[in-house]
Amino acid sequence: MRHALPAALLLALAACSRNKPQVVTPVRVDTARVVVEPSNSSNVRSYLTVNDDPFHRIDHMDWPGPNRFRAADGEPGPDYWQQRADYSITATLDTTARSIAGAVTIKYVNNSPDTLRFVSLQVDQNLYKPGSKGSVINPADSRWGARNFQGGYVIDKLTVDGKSARSRVDDTMMRVDLDKPIAPRGGTATIAMSFSFRVPDHGSDRMGRDSTLYEIAQWFPRMAVYDDVRGWNTDPYLGQGEFYLEYGDYEFAVTVPAGYLVAASGLLQNASEVLTATQRERLAKAASSTSVVAIVTATEVAPKPVAGTKTWKFRAQNVHDVAWAAAPDFRWDAVSTGPIAGNEKGVLCQAYYVWPRAGRGWEDGAENTQWTIRTYSSLFYPFPYPQATSVAGPVGGMEYPMFVMVHTAAESQGAFGTIDHEHGHEWYPMTVGSNERRYAWMDEGFNTYINAFSNELRTPKTSAWPAMFANWKTIQGQGVSVPLMTPPDRIDRTALGAVGYRKPAVVLLTLRNHVVGRDMFDRAFREYTRRWAFKHPTPADFFRTVENVTGTDLSWYWRAFFYTNDVLDLGVDGVTNATTDGQIVASIAVRRHTSIPFPIIMRLRLADGSMQEVTIPVEIWNSNQRVTAEVPVRSNVIGVRLWPDGTVPDWNDSNDAWGNAPAADAPALVTTGGLNTSVPRK
């Protein structure tokens, strides 16, 4: 979902070319072991294990051991399994009662090696029941609050394999007891029920209503994930944490007042029953046009009451959820991506926006969607679905398979940013189905990381880096920073944008640009995406894939930036120059002020006016807190600058310069060097 930066977004900055750094060896190490001190920011909430060796291996400590399900190299193991849930849903929108009533039939397949004697479902609408956990935890008028709306599910006619069944509802989770257990490795059960609920006006910024426009999500009971890591994943829906659901195929039919248009996940199955001949003709044209075609024009939207109802039928395959929107006054534009990686026919990109309430920027909505789908398909992994829909409405920004909601008022450039972000989620977590309710960084963090590439391509010479790092600094300074591994519902509301989105993006960019190298990280990130597409990866699967593909032990990195909230602070202590046998050697002392090690990257200014770049590998910080690099130079070193390219997240810049220090470059484009597009994406 969307999380806007509080301040100005992007600074126009030019990239700089630099000399190839010189790796120096040997480096003299001060033998005195210095006690690791916490960072110098006194109000930082302490999660430090300051006496631990920062290189201590965490793969056995905090990661599940590799096994037949999840292999040591980060791939799904030979016995990897996941459950499957296919849905058939019918629902009717009553615009007078502002309610939804429907029925769902779920064909559930138990591919696990376990016998299941009960199953768990998510019943998210119960967030709006008076006294729900979410309504108690979130202030009523907050983004995730229930606004004192009284709703929630009415569920009845529950059956399993056609026989009436018992259930127990606990807040937003529902447990169904099974008279007949579901056998392991392929046993099935058919679970059916009817449901109804009143549509909340403010659906915790994930769904809702604005006048006659309805944005409908989390609208039917959905299977919780049963996996090899935790069994049933029964974390409740509190509002701030997102979703974790099983893949399957969906057939759904929604009945709305005649005169309404419905936008939805999946492909429309009965165009001849709900669209006019002209609309069908325009849609067919759009499917093969890379220029936008208006399906419903500005002059055609004047909503007039039409008697009766119409039923719109959709089908979505290999997805873990579906959502939809309906309004009588949508403008509707569509355009094809044209042939893209992995899809010769192209993807149909659509924008639906209430007119004239939507900002004019929405007239670019279909093109923005097309640009986004093309870009991420070429950079990371082919978009796996036949269509991508953007809907303008009251929700600030929220993603579902093939379908995203973006705020009505978003202006042209702003709409691009949010449309780009929400559709970025079609890769993470729609295609790569991680557990968003526990790991925001695998959802919003990965997405913010790929958005940095998209933004720099869309608006050349702008860098996302300064604003992202500044946001991390802000919440660290406010004392609300927590480690990335913290589940999103336990992250302070004011820190979610930094901890869930921008810190993980900065951390991944730093790993790519300064630790393992751009080419190797791009290979690893694509390999992770390929390996775990339509599966359920855990953090360890990502960490192991990156280590395996890049050939680098990164325990120290995961530990520093994912498992603690300590910050990086290296500083230059001092420099002495000495001449031995005609060779000048500069001794440059560097101190590590926090628990976090990092490769030392320096630019030296020499007395003869020249510059010299030096890199020392991270292993130099084994068992010490202060090192002295002995660097052969042409003339005396008169100034030192740590992090000359300006994109290393060092907390304290007052000790990054010594003497007549060379200037740092303006923060470089984070995509400097670009992505190596010759690396296979699928």
Q: Which residues bind Zn ion (CB under 5 A)?
A: 1, 444
- How far, in Å, CA of 473 to CA of 483, rounded? 14
Cβ contacts of 194 within 8 Å, gap of 6 or more: 101, 102, 103, 104, 155, 156, 157
Instruction: For the CB of residue 421, give the shortest distance to Zn ion in the complex, in Å.
Output: 6
- How far, in Å, CA of 32 to CA of 442, rounded? 40
- Residue (354 or 405) nearer to Zn ion, CB: 405
- Residue (233 or 451) nearer to Zn ion, CB: 451
Q: Which residues, in sequence order, are bridge partners of residue 231?
A: 227
Instruction: For the CB of residue 447, give the shortest distance to Zn ion in the complex, in Å.
Output: 5
Instruction: For the CB of residue 2, give the shortest distance to Zn ion in the complex, in Å.
Output: 6
- Residue (1 or 590) nearer to Zn ion, CB: 1
- Residue (1 or 58) nearer to Zn ion, CB: 1
Instruction: For the CB of residue 268, give the shortest distance to Zn ion in the complex, in Å.
Output: 26
Radius of gyration of the chain (CA): 27
- Residue (227 or 444) nearer to Zn ion, CB: 444
Q: Is the dihedral of CA 394, 397, 398, 402 positive or negative?
A: positive
Q: Which residues, in sequence order, are bridge partners of residue 176?
A: 119, 167
Instruction: For the CB of residue 561, give the shortest distance to Zn ion in the complex, in Å.
Output: 20
- Residue (1 or 670) nearer to Zn ion, CB: 1
- Residue (1 or 104) nearer to Zn ion, CB: 1
- Residue (228 or 444) nearer to Zn ion, CB: 444
Instruction: For the CB of residue 656, give the shortest distance to Zn ion in the complex, in Å.
Output: 33
Pairing of strands 231-232, 293-296: unpaired
Quote the tokens at residue 315: 């089908």
Instruction: For the CB of residue 359, give the shortest distance to Zn ion in the complex, in Å.
Output: 21
Note whether 250 and 315 are within 8 A (CB): yes
Q: Which amino acid, residue 625?
A: Q
Cβ-closest residue to Zn ion?
A: 1
Q: What are the CA-CA distances from residue 672 to residues 508, 549, 602, 652, 676 (Å)?
A: 14, 21, 19, 24, 11
Instruction: For the CB of residue 455, give the shortest distance to Zn ion in the complex, in Å.
Output: 14
Cβ contacts of 101 within 8 Å, gap of 6 or more: 91, 92, 94, 194, 195, 196
- How far, in Å, CA of 644 to CA of 447, rounded? 27
Instruction: For the CB of residue 403, give the shortest distance to Zn ion in the complex, in Å.
Output: 14
Report the 3 state secondary structure along 137-187: HCCCCCCCCCCCCCCCCEEEEEEECCEECCEEEECCEEEEEEEEEECCCCE
- Residue (450 or 533) nearer to Zn ion, CB: 450
Task: Specify the residue for token string 């002392």.
Answer: 589
